[in-house]
Amino acid sequence: MAKKVKPEELLQYDLKPPRQEWVDTPVELKPGTFCWGAKGKNLQTVGFPNARDWSPTEEDWKLPEDWQETILEGIADRLKKYRSFRLFMDVCVRCGACADKCHFYMGSGDPKNMPVLRAELLRSVYRRYFTTPGKLLGRWAGARELTPDVLKEWWYYFFQCTECRRCSVFCPYGIDQAEMTMMGRELLNLLGLNTDWIAGPVANCYMKGNHVGLEPQTITSNIEFMLEDIETVTGIQIEPNFNRKGAEILFVAPSGDFFAEPGTYTFMGYLMLFEELGLDYTLSTYASEGGNFGFFTSNEMAKRLNSKIYAEAKRLGVKWILGGECGHMWRVVHQYMDTWNGPADFLEEPVSPITGTKFENAKSTKMVHIAEFTADLIQHNKLKLDKSRNDHLRVTFHDSCNTARGMGILEEPRYIIRNVCNHFYEMPEETIREKTLCCGSGSGLNAGENLELRLRGGFPRANAVRYVREKYGVNMLANICAVDRAAMPTLMDYWVPGVGVTGVHELVANALVMKGEKERTTDLRGMPLLGKDGEA
Amino acid sequence: MWAWREVRELKILYPLLGVLALVLLAYAGVVAHLNVFFGIVVPYLAFLLFLVGFMVRVITWGRSPVPFRIPTTCGQQKSLPWIKQNRLENPSSALGVVGRMTLEVLLFRSLFRNLKTEKRGDRLAYGSAKWLWLGGLVFHWSFLIIVLRHLRLFMEPVPVLITQLGDLDSFLQIGIPLFYITDGLILAALTYLFLRRVLVPQIRYISLQADYFPLFLLLGIAASGVLMRYVWKVDIVEVKALTMSLVTLRPEVPLSIGAIFYIHLFLVSALFAYFPLSKLMHMGGVFLSPTRNMINNSRSVRHINPWNYPVQVHTYEAYEAEFRAKMKKAGLPLETE
Amino acid sequence: MYKGGRIIAGLLLFACLALMPFLINIGKAAAKPSPQVNTPFIQQLTTQTCVEPAAFMKTEHMQLLNQWRDAALRDGKTVYVNSQGQSFPISLENSCLKCHSNPQQFCNTCHTYAAVKPYCWDCHNQGGTSQ
């Protein structure tokens, strides 16, 4: 729907807030900027409360009678459980450093997308019910009543945050809007107020093992198709295995990578790399999801989905786990998994079977990021790489929010790209590494019905891509995130046509010279290689 | 620039009136000779509220656990030995965290990163924006130095360090009594912080009464202090006699000291009493922020969540039970044939 | 309490710093300085008043001395006429210190007490005219 809107029209906004106070401005659900309400059956699958079909556009959101009590108890409970929540409710001084750091604000001008205001939506209610000045002075102390309109406002704006943590980088107290959004969404989920774009994948993942809902036989057959493509390009036959006990390594990727382009090319990259290394690994159909949409719902749901990875590693008796390219998956694996579902004492400290490198930084969680794994291979000269096979690409790298600000994996992917590509150009410093700009579709927002929101939220990133496209002729946006690969092609087509999107391991696979391969004339996508298109 | 009659500006006007009311109250106290109340009772009470309130607040925060290790990483992680880690922005040791926190608390590291985002036509542009950092830093450091300078009124004999701090602060040797640099700086910084709140549309939009009130209060304190030192002078010996009697817990009814002193003292008392109830608690809070004070080592050392509880999961057995036939057909290994 | 030890330690440090003025002064009495005005010269005076009223002198003497210095050194004026119309020679040593012949006691007790360092003695000899 928003695709019909021209970019020029979408850019008719400015960053100046309106005259009317935000507290006095009731929420308006603008079409194209929100997702459909969670279907009853999806909530029911995972046992969430108030499972029913509902529509955000209708006046009645079918809330339970005691909804207000539920929310207030929910807040009280979380204040006791999370120091971050309690602290971030209290210490904000509204200095405004975060205000213009949010991509949704930068792309829409909607003042409630300023991180500080998004937090105030919740903070104002906290003040009213949990602080003395707020109880006594009400609005004078920045407090307000919890009304159905406030609830709707929460729903609208907490699902306009991608939990990217960019605001947190600039906050003098490290106040993290991702934490606020997580709390907000947990509270909303107490009333069954989720979006179906999140509730659906959660239900899928719970029952079938992955967000996209692929059943075991579909996973294997999807991968069959990839194997055919690999054979066409390289002449090499690969036979991956699934659910195999006794393998050394369990490989877990975001399911997006075996579902749709261009993620599938990245998955082909993993398979080719492992084949060339002769790696003793297996794939699981049960733990066929690295990502975790539960993380966009509640802490408990995230833990429930995440549990499958360790459970499967234990069942299969592998030594350690290798993880594919994914953003929020790695936030979860890095900062949550071990705490939730560890200790992983049934696994061994990860050691690369090829180089002997001990991954000391993963010795407790026992899960290694594939960019760490591959960077180590390249540094040890274990891969034969022909960079020129990526010469038709002029590449820039987009740091994914989660891996940049919730982990810090910045150099590994760059090191890999520099070793597999001749043409690599960085976007402006203010838009990469810890200051990276979100794709605008993270944290469960990459739906179709909210496309306008996504295009707006992705505009700051696209704006930076446009800069390197104009300056260096960049035509490929590399990343290590499945949501990026799913969402960015739309974004690029809209804002910066002519720029493709790729996972880093697709680039690796293009450059990887495999034993016994035929002379390659195209890349994995079937695009002719420079000088190999018959002219040379 | 803005119209006073509009409701939204009342959130600036009311806090201003509030601080003016405090000034008038103190002045009324002087007129009514309520020296004991305003010179002894109020300061003691305010200090007690500050001390107890501050500790209660911090303990309340502390009682909530930190269930997950969630540092915001602002640099390269520690991974492979040949990749240069950013030890301060992505600490992997306690020492790194101490460094990170020191930079944050003493130099406002995060604010130093600040950028300004501008929309220019169909593009976004980023520029450096260090003014907030500078204004904040100047205010906080001036305030600290001023507080330390005031210790000369609470110690007898006055430690050399405090005297030297005063000397340093007045080394320009301007005027009589000597002009303190921090007096000028704090007024300038507070004025800047106020003006940006009012003049930058986004900041004005997000500002609450609770943002203006402390600004006015601090401006009132600084201004009354400056007036007391340079314009409406008071007998400093009488002032110190009072402050010393307070800290030796032998409070004496102060002899008449100028009204400006009681105004200054009352505003300071108001600040003390207000402190624990307000956003000013960021002073204690900054130390407790889990996104800044944690080591990024969650994959090498397991972080324990004290309230971690078992959850309902969908087991492999249940999964295989549902898909057994399909899995068999696809040639996938099974636990139970 | 997660990292409770550190929080308590931090709070104790905070409390100690905040209470420092109290802790340092435990058991001490607050002795207010009493500048002596009973010098032999003053005792001989019939009306024992300074160049201006005492209350004014307490808060403004530094200003007055500054004016005197400028008047004497820059403008060459030698006579000060006070608010009552009386005249005094503008001179630290011949007016002020003639009565207050005990500057070590009279000046320094308060200045030390308030940690104020007058710069009179940068030029003037404090010891020369004292008892």
In this structure, are A208 and A181 located in the same domain?
Answer: no
From the list B60, B90, B300, which residue is nearest A362 (CB)?
B300
Condensed to tens digits (0 to 9), the pLDDT of residues A143-177 reads: 999 999 999 999 999 999 999 999 999 999 999 99
A528 lies in some domain: no
A367 lies in some domain: yes
Condensed to tens digits (0 to 9), the pLDDT of residues A109-153 reads: 999 999 999 999 999 999 999 999 999 999 889 999 999 999 999
Interface partners of chain C (CB pairs < 8 Å, 3 or more) are B
- On the 0-12 / 13-18 / 19+ scale of CB atoms within 10 A, B27 is middle
Q: Are B104 and B300 in contact (CB under 8 A)?
A: no
Condensed to tens digits (0 to 9), the pLDDT of residues A37-68 reads: 999 999 999 999 999 999 999 999 999 999 99
Mutate to test the interface with C, among B101, B156, B228 (most CBs of C within 10 A): B156
Mutate to test the interface with B, among A93, A136, A292, A431 (most CBs of B within 10 A): A93
In this structure, are A255 and A378 located in the same domain?
Answer: yes
Q: How are strands ordered across the β-sheet holding A395-398?
A: A395-398, A476-479, A500-503
Residues of B in contact with A367 (CB under 8 A): 299
How far, rounded to the nearest angstrom, does the alpha carbon of residue A152 sit from its chain's CA centroid?
Answer: 25
What does the H/E/C string look like for B106-142? Answer: HHCHHHHCCEEEEEECCEEEEEECCHHHHHHHHHHHH
A14 lies in some domain: yes
Residues of C in contact with B97 (CB under 8 A): none
Judged by CB atoms closer than 8 Å, whether chains meet at B58 and C32 is answered as no
Going from N- to C-terminal start, the domains of chain C cover: 1-30, 35-122
CATH superfamily of the domain spanning B7-309? Transmembrane di-heme cytochromes, Chain C (1.20.950.20)
Q: Looking at the predicted structure, is the pLDDT value of residue A533 above 70?
A: no
Q: How far apart are CA A405 and CA B70, in angstroms?
A: 10
Q: Looking at the predicted structure, is the pLDDT value of residue C39 above 60?
A: yes
Q: pLDDT band for position B25 (50/70/90)?
A: very high
Q: pLDDT band for position C127 (50/70/90)?
A: low
In this structure, are A156 and A280 located in the same domain?
Answer: no
Residue B220, min C-alpha distance to chain A (Å): 19
Q: Are B70 and A174 in contact (CB under 8 A)?
A: no
B160-169 and B131-150 helices, crossing angle to 10° = 140
From the list B113, B208, B319, which residue is nearest A209 (CB)?
B319
In this structure, are A248 and A382 located in the same domain?
Answer: yes
CATH number of the domain that A186 lies in?
1.10.1060
Region of A278 please: left (phi>0), alpha (psi -120 to 50) or beta: left
A277 lies in some domain: yes
Interface partners of chain B (CB pairs < 8 Å, 3 or more) are A, C
CA A443 to each of CA A162, A292, A339: distance values in angstroms, whole numbers, following the listed order: 5, 9, 21
Condensed to tens digits (0 to 9), the pLDDT of residues A355-404 reads: 999 999 999 999 999 999 999 999 999 999 999 999 999 999 999 999 99
Residue A24, min C-alpha distance to chain B (Å): 10
| 3-state SS, residue A466 | helix
In degrees, to the nearest 5, what angle opens at C-alpha A70 toward C-alphas A68 and A75? 95
A35 lies in some domain: no
Q: Looking at the predicted structure, is the pLDDT value of residue B22 above 90?
A: yes
Judged by CB atoms closer than 8 Å, whether chains meet at C28 and B156 is answered as yes
Q: Looking at the predicted structure, is the pLDDT value of residue B3 above 60?
A: no
Q: Looking at the predicted structure, is the pLDDT value of residue A514 above 90?
A: yes
Closest alpha carbon to A324 in A265, A383, A401? A265
Kind and range of the H or E run holding B191: helix B181-199
A262: preceding bond cis by omega (within 30 degrees): yes
Residue A347, min C-alpha distance to chain B (Å): 13
Closest-CA residue of B relative to C54 is B235
A83-90 and A177-189 helices, crossing angle to 10° = 110
| A409 phi and psi angles, rounded to 5 deg | -90, 85
In this structure, are A180 and A212 located in the same domain?
Answer: no
B to C CB pairs, distance under 8 Å: 96
Q: How far apart are CA B263 and CA B185, in angstroms?
A: 21
Q: What is the pLDDT of residue B8?
A: 58
Mean of pLDDT values over B129-141 = 97
Q: What is the pLDDT of residue A424?
A: 98
Q: How far apart are CA B116 and CA B130, in angstroms?
A: 9
CA C2 to each of CA A33, A422, B304: distance values in angstroms, whole numbers, following the listed order: 40, 49, 10
Residues of C in contact with B66 (CB under 8 A): 2-3
Q: Looking at the predicted structure, is the pLDDT value of residue B60 above 60?
A: yes
Structural tokens at position A46: 């995972």
Q: Are A412 and A505 in contact (CB under 8 A)?
A: no
Condensed to tens digits (0 to 9), the pLDDT of residues C74-105 reads: 998 989 999 888 889 998 888 898 899 898 89
Radius of gyration, alpha carbons of chain B? 28
Structural tokens at position A69: 């009590």
Q: Looking at the predicted structure, is the pLDDT value of residue A195 above 90?
A: yes
Condensed to tens digits (0 to 9), the pLDDT of residues A307-363 reads: 999 999 999 999 999 999 999 999 999 999 999 999 999 999 999 999 999 999 999
What average pLDDT does the structure give for chain A?
A: 95
Closest alpha carbon to B13 in B182, B163, B198, B153? B198
Q: Looking at the predicted structure, is the pLDDT value of residue A447 above 50?
A: yes
Total of domains in chain A: 2
Judged by CB atoms closer than 8 Å, whether chains meet at B163 and C115 is answered as yes
Judged by CB atoms closer than 8 Å, whether chains meet at C22 and B247 is answered as yes
Judged by CB atoms closer than 8 Å, whether chains meet at C25 and B154 is answered as yes
Residue B38 contacts A, CB cutoff 8 Å: no
Contacts of C76 (CB under 8 A, 6+ apart): none
Residue A391, min C-alpha distance to chain B (Å): 26
Residue ranges making up the domain that contains A67: 10-30+49-193
Kind and range of the H or E run holding A107: helix A103-108
* Helical residues (DSSP H) of A237-282, grouped into ranges: 263-277
Closest alpha carbon to B218 in B280, B134, B148, B132? B280
Going from N- to C-terminal start, the domains of chain B cover: 7-309
Judged by CB atoms closer than 8 Å, whether chains meet at B59 and C58 is answered as no
Contacts of A48 (CB under 8 A, 6+ apart): A189, A192, A194, A199, A297, A301
Residue A61, min C-alpha distance to chain B (Å): 28
Handedness of CA C34, C38, C41, C46 (dihedral sign): positive
Identify the domain boundary among A133, A161, A193: A193
Condensed to tens digits (0 to 9), the pLDDT of residues B217-261 reads: 999 999 999 999 999 999 999 999 999 999 999 998 777 789 999
Residues of B in contact with A379 (CB under 8 A): 80, 82
The percent of chain A in helix, strand and coil, each rounded to the nearest 5, is 50, 5, 40
Residue B232 contacts A, CB cutoff 8 Å: no
Residues of B in contact with A433 (CB under 8 A): 75
In this structure, are A207 and A188 located in the same domain?
Answer: no
Cα of first residue to Cα of last residue in chain B, in angstroms, is 79
CA atoms within 13 A on the CB side of A242: 21
In this structure, are A378 and A497 located in the same domain?
Answer: yes
What average pLDDT does the structure give for chain C?
A: 88
Q: Looking at the predicted structure, is the pLDDT value of residue A226 above 90?
A: yes
ipTM surpassing 0.90: yes
Residue B317 contacts A, CB cutoff 8 Å: no
Judged by CB atoms closer than 8 Å, whether chains meet at B177 and C4 is answered as no
Residue B163 contacts C, CB cutoff 8 Å: yes
Q: Which residue has the tokens 């719902």?
A: A297
CA B236 to each of CA B42, B161, B273: distance values in angstroms, whole numbers, following the listed order: 20, 20, 25
Mutate to test the interface with B, among C2, C60, C65 (most CBs of B within 10 A): C2
Q: What is the pLDDT of residue B127?
A: 92
Residues of B in contact with C10 (CB under 8 A): 58, 287
Residue B126 contacts A, CB cutoff 8 Å: yes
Residues of B in contact with C63 (CB under 8 A): 176
Q: What is the pLDDT of residue C120?
A: 87
Q: Are A255 and A214 in contact (CB under 8 A)?
A: yes
* Largest distance between two CA atoms of chain B: 98
